[in-house]
Amino acid sequence: MKNLICFLIFVIFCGVVFFTGWTQIKVKPDTIGIVQSKTGGINQKPVIPGQFSWHKEFLIPTNAEINKFKNQPFNTTKTISGKRTAFSSENYSNIKDILDYQFTFQISLSYTPDVLVNLINENIISNQEDLEKYLDGVSAYLAQRTANYFLQELNKNPDFRPEEIRLIDLLGYIGFYKEYPDFDVTVLALNNYKLPYYSIYDSIGEEL
């Protein structure tokens, strides 16, 4: 009887230890968890639903926590607009018109769980709000670079049409993956745009 009681106590103890350190069940679907502890710092392996994970850091009370982030693409809309000064082809000191332009982009960015670990290690983000601000900045950069490229091409060819460029080619032209190699642009759609008519004037404007 005594041996049975000891065995049951041992089983219960093992169960408590197991469930205390079992981090997988603490992360909901469509969520990524990053374990941070006082004793071990930032764990380099994200906690992903459906993949078993156990961390001994949780055996010490108040020692560890899980920072949770949404595991889904970041979607946003960015509008880039401005004016470019057009000059008469006969006299560049004679301003003829101010040419308006506007591009509205629908953008969707995706990323791997390891990106979150890197951003936390670099003190760029610490929570979901920080992540969304960072992704919004990446999207703004992508939209501006794309708009700059469109204006540059239009300056070369008045018949240039942005919608005719494939996404994979466009990302190569603007060098997005050189700056952000860990992100994937799944959507970069030009919802609408207004182009300046360079065919009327020789144009000189802001540098791209």
Q: Are 204 and 92 in contact (CB under 8 A)?
A: yes
| CA 85 vs CA 90, 92, 99, 118, 157: distances in Å | 15, 11, 6, 43, 17
Cβ neighbours around 194 below 10 Å, total:
11
Distance from the Cα of residue 116 to its chain's centroid: 10
Tens-binned pLDDT, residue by residue, of the chain (208 aa): 666 677 677 677 777 777 788 888 889 988 999 999 999 899 999 999 889 998 999 889 899 999 999 999 999 999 998 876 654 444 444 444 556 788 899 999 999 999 999 999 999 999 999 999 999 999 999 999 999 998 888 878 878 888 888 898 999 999 999 999 989 999 998 887 777 655 433 333 333 3
CA dihedral 152, 157, 159, 163 (to 10 degrees): -40
List the beta strands (DSSP E) in 112-201.
183-194
Which amino acid, one-letter code, is at 86?
A
Amino acid at 125: I
Q: Which of 75, 78, 74 is nearest to 191 (CA)?
A: 78
CA distance 75 to 87: 39
Give the predicted TM-score (pTM) of the model: 0.81
Provide the terminal-to-terminal Cα distance of the chain, rounded to the nearest Å: 83
CA–CA dist 135, 133 (Å, integer) = 6
Residue type, 154: L
Tell me how far apart the alpha carbons of residues 88 and 95 are, in angstroms, rounded to a whole number. 6
Which residue's entry shows tokens 């850091």?
A: 57
CA 29 → CA 25, 51, 53, 176, distances in Å? 10, 11, 14, 30
Alpha-carbon distance 63 to 60, whole Å? 5
